[in-house]
Amino acid sequence: MAILRLEEIGTVRSPVKAPVEAGWAEVVSDLVVEKRFAGGLKGIEEFSHVLVVFLMHQAWFDPADLVGRPGGRSDLPEVGIFAQRALHRPNPIGTSAVKIEAVRGNIVTVRGLDAIDGTALLDIKPYFPDFDRIERPVVPDWVGRLMRGYF
């Protein structure tokens, strides 16, 4: 087994203070990068979007969460935790593709990040269409029903 070592590179500052299920599209947040990592932001302003990796610090995992209905909705099928984007996971690591609104020093302002205030920032990666875009992904029908109104 490999040794896992993660280090926070900063903190998310968001107007959203508690987990919510929807409405993230217009949320504007700041990725406050620790000063010692700020040099790593050089050139990020040339991108329109980034991938944000974060630690969902208010999430937990119970083995009962291994299989469930997405969003707790009875109209959706039971699926495993790895077949959904649920909050409560064995490792509470979140990822989001977001739009860059501004870069000022060690702060990257983004739109659409589904992370609450105080969330630990683990990484920021530039969005590369060749790596990050899938032209014709296949997803189950229930995903469309779940995502209606999310963004």
- With a cut of 80, say whether residue 24 has pLDDT above it: no
Range of the domain at 29: 10-57+92-130
CATH classification at residue 111: 2.40.30.70
In a domain, 64, yes or no: no
Q: Per the domain annotation, does 72 fall within a domain? A: no
Residue 26 lies in a domain: yes
Q: Is residue 135 part of a domain?
A: no
Work out the average pLDDT over 9-21.
Answer: 87
Number of domain units in the chain = 1
In contact, 97 and 54? CB cutoff 8 Å: no
Q: Does residue 22 surpass a pLDDT of 70?
A: no
Identify residue 109 by its one-letter amino acid code.
T
The percent of residues above 70 in pLDDT, for the chain, comes to: 95
| pLDDT tens sequence across 33-67 | 999 999 999 999 999 999 999 998 777 778 888 99
| Rg, C-alpha atoms of the chain | 16
Residue 140 lies in a domain: no
Q: Give the pLDDT confidence score for residue 150 in this predicted structure.
A: 67
Classify residue 111: in a domain, yes or no: yes
Identify whether 75 is part of a domain. Answer: no
pLDDT per residue as tens digits for the range 75-107 = 999 999 999 888 788 888 999 999 999 999 999
Q: Where do the DSSP E strands lie in 3-149?
A: 10-13, 28-33, 49-55, 67-68, 79-80, 93-104, 107-111, 120-126
Residue 50, domain member (yes or no) = yes
* Residue 7 pLDDT class (50, 70, 90 cuts): very high
